[in-house]
Amino acid sequence: MVKDEIQKIINKTAEETGYTVYESSIYLKGENSKITVKIDSLKPVSHGDCEQFSAHLSSNLDGSRILPNYFLEISSPGLDRKLRNIDELIRFVDSPVKIVYADGDINRVVQGRLVAVSETGIEVETEKKKVLIRHDDIIHANLDY
């Protein structure tokens, strides 16, 4: 119940500040409660963006009086962020990626530039070749800066 209310405040803060919530976790343990939020934006998220979001979220949490004491950690998904869905893959076309995928019974790794995303799969260009990977075969996909 308290976690749901906190999550609503996190989402409201993201909407108010123009960010999206990439990921959040809420750990409630008295004075050692911890709220971790990774924020995202179409533009790169800076340290200043994290500070701004943190101040706004703190104000909203304090105003709600749901949680008297907490530790707040705000960050971005990072340069090696996980690409979790087709929308994120489309967003990062032309970016360097590292993909772990199933090729039959073997897991393979390809590193290169994400050059295309379709309804059925992705295309990654390495120094030597282009690799086509079906969405269903992707195990992990990350940016690789």
**Which tokens go with 60?**
């909203």
Query: For residue 46, what are the CA distances in angstroms to 50, 62, 81?
Result: 7, 24, 15
Provide the residue-wise pLDDT of the chain in tens; the chain has 145 residues: 899 999 999 999 999 999 999 999 999 998 889 999 999 999 999 999 999 999 999 999 999 999 989 999 999 999 999 999 999 999 999 999 999 999 999 999 999 999 999 999 999 999 999 999 999 999 999 999 9
Domains of the chain and any CATH numbers: 2-75 (3.30.70.1350), 86-143 (2.30.30.100)
3-state class of 108 per DSSP?
Answer: strand
Q: Among residues 108, 110, 104, which one has the least CA distance to residue 129?
A: 110
Q: Among residues 56, 134, 69, which one has the least CA distance to residue 101?
A: 134
C-alpha 134/C-alpha 99 separation (Å) is 11
